[in-house]
Structure 1
Amino acid sequence: MDNIPDTPISTAETSIASGIKTVFVMADYGHDPTETAVPYTAFKTAGYDISFVTESGKAPECDKKMLSGVTQKLLGAKKEVVSQYKTMSLSPEFQHPKSWSDPSFSLEPYDIVIFPGGHDKAVRQVIDSPRVQQLVAEHFPRTQKPSKKIVGAVCHGVMVLSSSRDPATGHSVIRSCDTTALPSGFEQSAYWGTRVFLGDYYKTYGAGSEDVQTSVTKVLASPSQFKSTLNPGPFIVEDEHYNYISARYPGDAQLFSEEIIKLVESFNKIV
């Protein structure tokens, strides 16, 4: 993965970009550093205003297995991403997140809401949070086109959306959407390939739990709405009716970021 170029931004573009409010919704620990730091770096370069939100306002920490040691070298973040993560982790916005437990907190003020993924079991804090699910249920309908609000989710981050239900219908907020998430083929290969030395690390809900793809697909109106490929090359899905972009795994993070920025830029071209 190449470093995201620090492309100069014109004064007019900076003025527009500086008004784009972005928030990363995270657990206290366990998110994938690539799926977090790559979008962060891209949005920061684009001039967006970035915030983080955790349960109690504690600074989040991404999965250490993906940042150092043997697991990082074999399976984790690439060297340039580790550098991006360190920069992100020292930023004021990362060190001082907002709290989703605060009754006054809402996703409504944000133009872009990002749900990174991660395999560590600690990410269940955000996936299973009734408060986060309530916030998502309130916010996701605001992304219906021609709205200019965007939701993006990668890997296990899609499970936050699939678990969030419309209180009126009981259906997932993404029931009618095209989406992707971590494919079963990727998850099973990683799990069985590392089981001897990592145990059930690649099964966030434990050995024997259903795959992410299965969990997401079952809440959709039709299985055909789950789009995927086992080609490791960059892949994302953009829904036709909602400003919702999803991706499968860290290898998609760069394209995921670029497509969100393109979508923002397309709004600015609408007269």
Structure 2
Amino acid sequence: MGKSGQDFWKMIPNLHSQISLRTAKMPAAPPKAIVFLANNGQDPTEAAIPWEILTSAGCIVTFATEHGEVASADPVLLQSGVFASLLGPSKQATDSYKAMVASPEYQQPRAWSDKDFDILEYEIAILPGGHDKPIRQYLECQSLHEHLGRFLPHTARTCRQRPKVLGAICHGVLALAFAKCPVNPERSLLAEHGLQTTTLPKWMEGTAWVASQAWLKGSYYRTYIERGGWCCGDVEEAGGSYIRGPMSTKPFVHTDPNHRYISARFPGDAELWTKTILSEAKEAFGVW
């Protein structure tokens, strides 16, 4: 074999290393995120901020309602006036909400009740909150609960096959509290998976409800007032490990140590919550 031939074969290991290195650095495909919404009553901030941040980061965001109807947020929070300025979205969140509503993906939601809907098509699942009574449709929906029961095992940090990231904020956590475990119907998904979660604390819910009485809103801010239910109380009753968070409105989120599950308390946490979800996604799926 001539010298040129010998040189060629000496180059092969080096070429192989370079190809392997380039392959390892190839960006991952952008993750697909699904945002679940009630037909009516969603908090505009808790839906719009995730859409804006995830979309800006290159994620492919899809919305879903129970039967594929276009959702509408809580109209009380979108009104002008003092009450909405206290409990409703900021100007930035309002602008984000308007942009979200005008987007093609929002205007063409999927129906999670369809037989061909598969939650495992998505890498990220988002559960926004809301507090007026129409939100119950989403929180109590058995078909949504079944989807979440399939999704949650894939959020375990030990899961290497089709890993997933789940985020829930405020009343959105109740969908997990009300959902029953597929293999153990006596237990909620929160209890079965031993999830640590924050949610709307009693002091926040109580303060907002008392404030709402000045505008004669009645039971508006209390989603389950007829049975004396509080958001955090429902989480604890379901067997979840409730993380109250600080007694302040400074943004706070909680990341479960054993699952890629990120929870938050109220709209003021939405930006930090979504950025933490995004960080978990990059850790799980790589840079895209």
Q: TM-score, normalised by structure 2?
A: 0.84
Q: Which residue of 2 aligns with 1:81?
A: 93
- The answer to whether structure 1 residue 51 and structure 2 residue 62 are counterparts is yes
How far, CA to CA, are the matches of 1:132 and 1:253 in structure 2?
Answer: 22
The answer for the alignment partner of 2:190 in structure 1 is 174
Aligned pair count?
Answer: 255
Describe the SS at the equivalent of 2:61.
Answer: strand
Structure 2 unaligned residues grouped into runs of 5+: 1-24
Alignment counterpart, residue 228 of structure 1, candidates 236, 245, 259: 245
Question: Where do 1:114-263 residues align within 5 Å?
Answer: 114-147=126-159, 148-169=163-184, 170-175=186-191, 176-196=194-214, 197-220=216-239, 225-263=242-280
Residues 100 and 269 of structure 1: CA distance in aligned 2, closer, same or farther (over 3 Å): closer
Question: Cα offset for 1:207?
Answer: 4.4
Whole-angstrom CA distance in 1 between matches of 2:157 and 2:48: 28
Which of 98, 123, 131 lines up with 2:110 in the alignment? 98
Q: Show structure 1 runs of 5+ residues with no match.
A: 1-12
- Show structure 1 runs of 4+ deviating over 4 A: none
Given that residues 32 and 122 in structure 2 are in contact (C-alpha distance below 8 angstroms), is that contact kept between their aligned partners in structure 1? yes
Secondary structure at the counterpart of residue 101 of structure 1: coil
How far did 1:209 drift?
A: 2.4
C-alpha RMSD of the superposition: 1.9
Aligned counterpart, 2:51: 40
Q: Tell me the TM-score normalized by structure 1.
A: 0.89
* CA displacement at 1:220 relative to structure 2: 2.0
CA contact (8 A) 1:187 1:211 kept: yes
For residues 157-189 of structure 1, give each alpha carbon's deviation from its aligned partner in whole angstroms, at most 9, with x where no partner exists.
000011111122221112111100000110111
Q: Greater share of helix residues, 1 or 2?
A: 2
Residues 8-27 of structure 1 correspond to what in structure 2 (within 5 A)?
Answer: 16=28, 19-27=30-38
DSSP-derived class of the 1:22 partner: strand
Give the distance between the partners of 2:55 and 2:26, measured in 1 at CA. 11
Instruction: Tell which structure's C-alpha radius of gyration is larger.
Output: 2
Deviations 1:188-232 (A, max 9, x none): 1111221242111111123452100000011226x5x43422211
Q: Cα deviations across residues 86-119 of structure 1 (Å, max 9, x unaligned)?
A: 0000111100000011011121111100000001
Identity of aligned residues (%): 32
CA distance in 2, matches of 1:107, 1:268: 17
| SS at structure 1 position matched to 2:271 | helix
**Contact 2:27/2:286 (CA < 8 Å) preserved in 1?**
no
Larger strand share, 1 or 2: 2
CA contact (8 A) 1:236 1:246 kept: yes
CA contact (8 A) 2:224 2:230 kept: no
Of 178-187 and 135-144, more deviation after overlay is shown by: 135-144
